[in-house]
Structure 1
Amino acid sequence: MVERVIATPEALALIRQLQQEHGELMFHQSGGCCDNSAANCYLPTDLTVGIRDLKLGEVGGVPFYISKTQFETWKHTQLILDVIDGRGGTFSLEEPTGKAFHTRSRVFTPEEQAWLDQHPPQDMAPDFS
């Protein structure tokens, strides 16, 4: 199995810290409009995911979403959630900590891409059946 999104130990530690403080969390990879192009951490009630989003996977047990248009740009890369010192996006829960989630990436190998092509990410479109 190939993971589309993974997290560094530093990111996992910050996730645990935020979970202790806030409870259930979610990530959404920002498209860069108003608040950078980073993975933003939210409470599940703070952002609605739906017909325009895909679930890439989970990091630290926290769901990680991306818009379908962003996915088209990043689909050949594994997203690596990391942490840097400094202030991140003002919409993201880690902003007051002095740390910021930072998205790195690496290109999938041809073998990984072949597997991923057979296993698309979860479409978040509502099921009305």
Structure 2
Amino acid sequence: MRIIVAGWLRFDGGDVCAQVVRGGAQLIAESRSEQGCIAYNWSVDPLEDGLMHVYEEWESERDLLLHFKHSSYLEMRRHLESFRLSAFDIKLYSVAGTEPVYTETGEPRSTLFGVSLD
């Protein structure tokens, strides 16, 4: 089953998130190359200093569990802990299925997973 990891981290000390992301670029690249990694991204919030968003997709629970033992994950934790992390909220989501958001013509779909407003 596909797994999504999504959430945010808040750092004290002003606008440090760009430094966090740039300093973690190699770790992000290593994580992206791991078995089962579909997406792995850290992004700076454009409106709030000190707020960073995390988004990951993994093919399976097993792939994510292996990631937690991988050197890139262990080094990522050390990297993040070198900054003043004041709060975080990161959750796991299991995905039963996926569908495209847009039609072939680029319009938002009118039905999602069999549900429509009609």
The two structures have a TM-score, normalised by structure 1, of 0.33
Structure with bigger RCO (C-alpha 8 Å, 6+ apart): 2
Larger gyration radius, structure 1 or structure 2: 2
Q: Which has the higher helix share?
A: 2
